[in-house]
Amino acid sequence: MSVLVVVECADGEVKKSSLEVASYGAEVAAMLGTTATAIAVGEANAANLAKLGEQGITKVLHDAEPRLKDFVNNAYTKLIATAAEQEQAKIIILANSNIGAAVGSRLSVRLKASLATNVVELPKTEGGQFVVKRGAFSGKAFSDVALSGDRKIIAVKKNSTEAKHDAGKTAEVSTFAAQLTDADFADAPTQVIMQDQAGGVLLPEADLVVSGGRGMKGPENWSLIEDLAKALGAATACSKPVSDVDWRPHHEHVGQTGITVSPNLYIACGISGAIQHLAGVNSSKVIVVINKDPEAPFFKAADYGIVGDVFDVLPKLTAAVKALG
């Protein structure tokens, strides 16, 4: 029996959220007195996979099938299920990403496992129960969920656990062949279109986020948001009304029916803080609110606030970040 960790790779690099998942998996393995094995998906590079030793992974399985570069739900499910059987994994851990949730839900049926997504803490195993804490009610609450059965799958929310770096430790990378056939790739994408990053940071993986609302008055003023984001190395985001009127693309919309983010720092500029918006951001570690209305509800959820005009305040913040050097 072991713990199997699914690590997502892109362009040869292991994603940051998967480094967190690897650390989480190694800790669960230590709790259970066993080791953690990883299975790589996406475009992986053996040297970077070996570095998963730093997160406490002992062994990494890598299937060199080139069609695994892009996300294919059936093929990924079969790959991970085959690895789980080979390793006799009782616990499988994934990132709570679009890929992790799509694969984890199919795996739970195929492997007859119980499943918890959106998990924010290490499991508790007192009294013969296996309990995980997960986010519920769109970030407005948490629930402790008991997982039954012999096999369990856990999808860990981004930025809820820290990736450990035990420098110098390496994992053994071994080739793995899940014997995937053409039928497993029947739902392969015909095209993959990545967002134009233009030197920017992708929102779902970002540690720092600068976000704008209707108080920005129009898309032509977004350079103020972008300048601060660029100076900080942050991603840009927006509120629902802003994406509804097409000032910004849908994939920047943060909130209850948009993307849920949990960065270290969320700076809200000209966003009043409707409850639906707060639901998407309230697991951020630090929230800064800039709004000219001192009664804006967002100030109640903020750690730091500036009551002032975003058009005056944002350039000052950008200059102050640049002055830090």
Tell which positions 137-196 bind other proteins, by CB under 8 A.
137-149, 186-195
79 vs 171, beta carbon nearer other proteins = 79
- Asked whether the beta carbons of 306 and 313 are under 8 A apart, the reply is yes
Taking the complex as a whole, the smallest distance from the CB of residue 126 to other proteins amounts, in Å, to: 11
140 vs 172, beta carbon nearer other proteins = 140
Residue 290 identity: I
Taking the complex as a whole, the smallest distance from the CB of residue 114 to other proteins amounts, in Å, to: 4
30 vs 186, beta carbon nearer other proteins = 186
Taking the complex as a whole, the smallest distance from the CB of residue 216 to other proteins amounts, in Å, to: 16
Among 36, 103, 119, 237, binds other proteins (CB under 8 A): 103
Taking the complex as a whole, the smallest distance from the CB of residue 133 to other proteins amounts, in Å, to: 8
Specify the DSSP class assigned to residue 214.
G
Among 2, 117, 160, 262, binds other proteins (CB under 8 A): 117
Sequence-distant (6+) residues with CB within 8 A of 144 are 124, 131, 132, 133
- Asked whether the beta carbons of 38 and 89 are under 8 A apart, the reply is no
Considering only residues 241 through 300, tell me which ones interact with other proteins, judged by CB under 8 A: 250-251, 253, 256-258, 264-265, 275-276, 279, 282-283, 285-289, 299-300
Specify the DSSP class assigned to residue 80.
H
The CA dihedral of 236, 242, 243, 247, to the nearest 10 degrees, is -80
Residue 198 identity: A
Sequence-distant (6+) residues with CB within 8 A of 47 are none
Measure the CA–CA gap between 322 and 180, rounded to whole angstroms. 51
Residue 28 identity: V
172 vs 312, beta carbon nearer other proteins = 312
Considering only residues 8 through 27, tell me which ones interact with other proteins, judged by CB under 8 A: 10, 15
Considering only residues 306 through 325, tell me which ones interact with other proteins, judged by CB under 8 A: 306-309, 312-313, 316-317, 319-321, 323-324
Taking the complex as a whole, the smallest distance from the CB of residue 118 to other proteins amounts, in Å, to: 5
- 131 near other proteins (CB under 8 A): yes
- 106 near other proteins (CB under 8 A): yes
Measure the CA–CA gap between 174 and 176, rounded to whole angstroms. 6
Specify the DSSP class assigned to residue 253.
B
Among 2, 23, 97, 239, binds other proteins (CB under 8 A): 97
- 43 near other proteins (CB under 8 A): no
- 208 near other proteins (CB under 8 A): yes
Measure the CA–CA gap between 66 and 64, rounded to whole angstroms. 6
Among 13, 31, 90, 204, binds other proteins (CB under 8 A): 204
Taking the complex as a whole, the smallest distance from the CB of residue 215 to other proteins amounts, in Å, to: 14
Q: Is 307 helix (H, G, I), strand (E, B) or coil?
A: strand
Considering only residues 217 through 236, tell me which ones interact with other proteins, judged by CB under 8 A: 232
Measure the CA–CA gap between 28 and 23, rounded to whole angstroms. 9
Q: Is 95 exposed, middle or buried (0-12, 13-18, 19+ CB in 10 A)?
A: buried
- Asked whether the beta carbons of 211 and 269 are under 8 A apart, the reply is yes
Tokens coding 305:
């606030």
Among 163, 205, 221, 241, binds other proteins (CB under 8 A): 205
- 198 near other proteins (CB under 8 A): no
